[in-house]
């Protein structure tokens, strides 16, 4: 009786969650788009619900017939036995119908979860890099998990519950009115006694649940930030274990107290409902017995009415939550659709074509760039401050009229102060961002005219802190080329100067590298990333500070691996250590978004420019200090 209040916790149903929500016809149409493949299953599901409601109405009428027509007047044991078998058959029929209902809900629910998650995953994969630089990962995962499941419940829990309760209530009232209308009206008059406390207790439970959700979210955030490798290292070095434990225990203790209070409040509420239900049943028997004594009501009818009263109050109290249930389900759908409606800013043109047999020629033709406006690449509800509107203004100008050409096989080095635009420039080649003006061309083709798959297939990149998945070394390497053979993987690792180290590990290429590759040293991760690029065998290689923060011995190994990676490939190399790029075919000095100098190392060192200043800063100053007293 009153079932459903215990579901507030997993559903997150609170007034603020559905505040202002309305059933939008456009949302309904999109919901039907996802539900349409399951329309026959939905019809079967609803049919079994209705059939089950009818079947469960029958037993009290069977008991009435046993008492009024076979037991008391005639003592017809054969008739009693027959009707008892009918009652058992009805129970078995209801069991079968319930199994069918569960089968339908499983098929529909799991199918919808699969469809929604697949659609979200495919869409998010097509979002530009700018989307991920602004979005909270946890909030995005919540859409893929919590909201998808909330939307699924619209068809498995909410729909079934509302249909079943409405139909059960309607049929029960009709049967009761036909049996004895005075007692039926009496039971209906008791309904406000159920509904009013149900709403009041519901609001209290919702308030407690909301606080519990917020505290749980805060604990999850704390654990997510501190239980990854980087967070754990920071806590070990700067944290205070006692303070960390006290803060966590405070939140966990409040969640515990809320859980106890919610359980007791729910139990008191259900006990009160049970008491009222019992009082209603007693009243039915009390007044009904008077009618029996007066001869206006049979004993069997009185028994049936008492059974129906017990069935009446449950659907009534559950339907008090129907609006919250329905709106919660549709808000979940809206939150899923909000992500699906975010348009990727990096898309293939209608006439896009593949880059075939790339040679690796790169051209920047008067390229200007500003980072796109947040409103064009992000969703406000997925950002840290969900209430702050997203700006419609793009960033300031990052690149200003950049023009250069890298011929196939050339090494182009990019140097300059931090924030000069070097990494941004490199990110334009694989179309992680699109230029604001000008053109970036590969082999004479504007990158915006090429298919993204063929463009990225021709480019390999190694960053300062390469990312590795929490998987084996072999799996991380095969991510670049799943069809690679063992011999090809070994050859790439030999070229990257990492094979000997891997072979010396107990599990070899089956060694788990840990989250973000933290079980490996910086130099080992760099060489493994280089091996991944070599296995991919692209025409263009982009190296963004690939030797930063390495010791001399490791840097030598990485430099040898870099030479292998650059061999016969066009390479863009960002480096602060000028020793790593002195052999470049062309050095571009970038400052405040412009190429302020270009030439070879020998040419630039002879000029009185930024390159010479950077060179003297790295090499001349240590010499001067060593010559001191």
CATH number at residue 52: 1.20.1560.10
Nearest by Cα to 209 from 11, 452, 409? 11
Residue 107 shares a structural domain with residue 255: yes
pLDDT (0 to 100) of residue 583: 83
Nearest by Cα to 314 from 262, 267, 276? 276
Residue 335 shares a structural domain with residue 413: no
Residue ranges of the chain with per-residue pLDDT less than 50? 1-16, 622-629
Which DSSP helix (H) or strand (E) runs through 597?
strand 594-599
Give the C-alpha separation, 224 to 544, whole Å: 28
In a domain, 393, yes or no: no
CATH code (residue 518):
3.40.50.300
Report yes or no on whether pTM surpasses 0.75.
no
pLDDT digits (tens, 9 = 90+) for 521-544: 878 888 898 889 889 989 999 988
Are residues 531 and 501 in contact, defined by beta-carbon separation less than 8 angstroms?
A: no
In a domain, 436, yes or no: no
pLDDT (0 to 100) of residue 352: 93
Residue 463 shares a structural domain with residue 334: no
Domain extent, residue 488, equals: 409-431+453-626
In a domain, 326, yes or no: yes
pLDDT (0 to 100) of residue 366: 96
Burial class of 305 by CB neighbour count within 10 A (0 to 12, 13 to 18, 19+)? buried
Which residues lie across from 597 on neighbouring strands?
A: 589
Residue 416 shares a structural domain with residue 330: no
pLDDT (0 to 100) of residue 622: 46
**Which of 302, 317, 340 is the last residue in one of the domains?**
340
In a domain, 417, yes or no: yes
Residue 295 shares a structural domain with residue 422: no
Tell me how many degrees the CA angle 53-175-317 measures, rounded to the nearest 5.
60
Nearest by Cα to 146 from 340, 381, 336? 336
Task: State how many domains the chain has.
Answer: 2
Residue 426 shares a structural domain with residue 329: no
Burial class of 525 by CB neighbour count within 10 A (0 to 12, 13 to 18, 19+)? buried
**Which of 320, 340, 360 is the last residue in one of the domains?**
340
pLDDT digits (tens, 9 = 90+) for 294-329: 888 888 888 888 888 877 777 876 776 666 667 767
Pure H helices in 356-399: 374-377
Which DSSP helix (H) or strand (E) runs through 595?
strand 594-599
Lateral strand order in the sheet of 540-544 = 459-462, 540-544, 570-574, 411-415, 586-591, 594-599
How many CA within 13 A on the CB side of residue 66? Answer: 18
Residue 183 shares a structural domain with residue 272: yes
Residues 6+ apart with CB under 8 A from 211: 254, 258
Give the C-alpha separation, 337 to 34, whole Å: 11
In a domain, 591, yes or no: yes
**Which of 340, 368, 394 is the last residue in one of the domains?**
340
In a domain, 364, yes or no: no
Nearest by Cα to 104 from 51, 48, 148, 159? 48
């Amino acid at each position: 009786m009153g079932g459903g209040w215990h579901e507030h916790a997993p559903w997150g149903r609170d007034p603020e969650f559905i505040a202002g929500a309305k059933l939008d016809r456009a949302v309904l149409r999109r919901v039907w788009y996802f539900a349409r493949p399951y329309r026959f299953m939905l019809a079967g599901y609803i049919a079994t619900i209705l059939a089950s409601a009818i079947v469960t109405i029958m037993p009290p009428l069977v008991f009435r017939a046993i008492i009024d027509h076979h037991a008391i007047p005639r003592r017809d044991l054969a008739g009693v036995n027959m009707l008892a078998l009918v009652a058992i058959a009805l129970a078995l029929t209801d069991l079968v119908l319930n199994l069918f209902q569960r089968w339908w809900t499983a098929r529909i629910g799991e199918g919808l979860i699969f469809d929604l998650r697949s659609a979200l995953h495919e869409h998010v994969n097509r979002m530009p890099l700018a989307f991920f630089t602004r979005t909270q990962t946890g909030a995005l995962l919540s859409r893929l998990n919590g909201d998808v499941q909330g939307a699924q419940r619209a068809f498995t829990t909410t729909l079934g519950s509302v249909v079943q309760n409405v139909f059960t209530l309607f049929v029960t009232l009709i049967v009761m009115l036909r049996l004895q209308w005075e007692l039926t009206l009496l039971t209906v008059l008791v309904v406000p006694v159920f509904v009013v406390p149900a709403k009041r207790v519901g609001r209290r439970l919702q308030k407690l649940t909301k606080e519990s959700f917020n505290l749980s979210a805060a604990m999850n955030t704390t654990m997510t930030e501190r239980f990854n490798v980087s967070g754990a290292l920071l806590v070990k070095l700067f944290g205070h274990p006692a303070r960390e434990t006290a803060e966590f225990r405070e939140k966990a203790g409040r969640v515990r107290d809320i859980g106890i209070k919610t359980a007791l409040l729910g139990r008191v509420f259900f006990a009160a409902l049970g008491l009222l239900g019992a009082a209603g049943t007693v009243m039915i028997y009390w007044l009904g017995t008077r009618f029996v004594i007066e001869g206006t009501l049979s004993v069997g009818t009185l028994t049936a009415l008492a059974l129906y009263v017990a069935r009446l109050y449950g659907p009534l109290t559950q339907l008090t939550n129907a609006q919250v249930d329905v709106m919660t389900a549709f808000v979940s759908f809206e939150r899923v659709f909000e992500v699906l409606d975010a348009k990727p800013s990096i898309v293939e043109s209608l006439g896009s074509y593949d880059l075939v047999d790339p040679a690796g020629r790169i051209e920047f033709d008067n390229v200007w760039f500003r980072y796109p406006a947040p409103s064009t690449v992000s969703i406000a509800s997925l950002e840290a401050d969900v209430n702050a509107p997203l700006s419609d203004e793009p960033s300031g100008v990052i690149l200003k009229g950049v023009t250069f050409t890298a011929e196939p096989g050339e090494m182009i080095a990019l140097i300059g102060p931090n924030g000069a635009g070097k990494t941004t420039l490199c990110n334009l080649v694989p179309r992680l961002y699109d230029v604001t003006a000008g053109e970036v061309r590969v082999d004479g083709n504007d990158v915006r005219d090429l298919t993204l798959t063929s463009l990225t297939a021709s480019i390999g990149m190694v960053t300062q802190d390469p990312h590795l998945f929490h998987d084996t070394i072999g799996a991380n390497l095969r991510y670049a080329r799943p069809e690679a053979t063992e011999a090809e993987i070994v050859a790439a690792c030999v070229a990257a100067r990492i094979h000997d180290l891997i072979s010396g590990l107990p599990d070899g290429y089956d060694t788990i590298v840990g989250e973000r590759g933290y079980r490996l040293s910086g130099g080992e991760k760099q060489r493994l990333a280089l091996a991944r690029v070599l296995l991919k065998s692209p025409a263009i290689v982009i190296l963004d500070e690939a030797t930063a923060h390495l010791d001399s011995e490791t840097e030598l190994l990485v430099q040898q691996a870099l030479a292998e990676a650059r061999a016969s490939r066009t390479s863009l190399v960002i480096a602060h250590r000028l020793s790593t790029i002195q052999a470049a075919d062309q050095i571009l000095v970038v400052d405040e978004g412009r190429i302020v100098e270009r030439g070879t190392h020998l040419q630039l060192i002879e000029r009185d420019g930024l390159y010479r200043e950077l060179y003297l800063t790295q090499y001349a100053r240590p010499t001067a200090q060593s010559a001191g007293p």
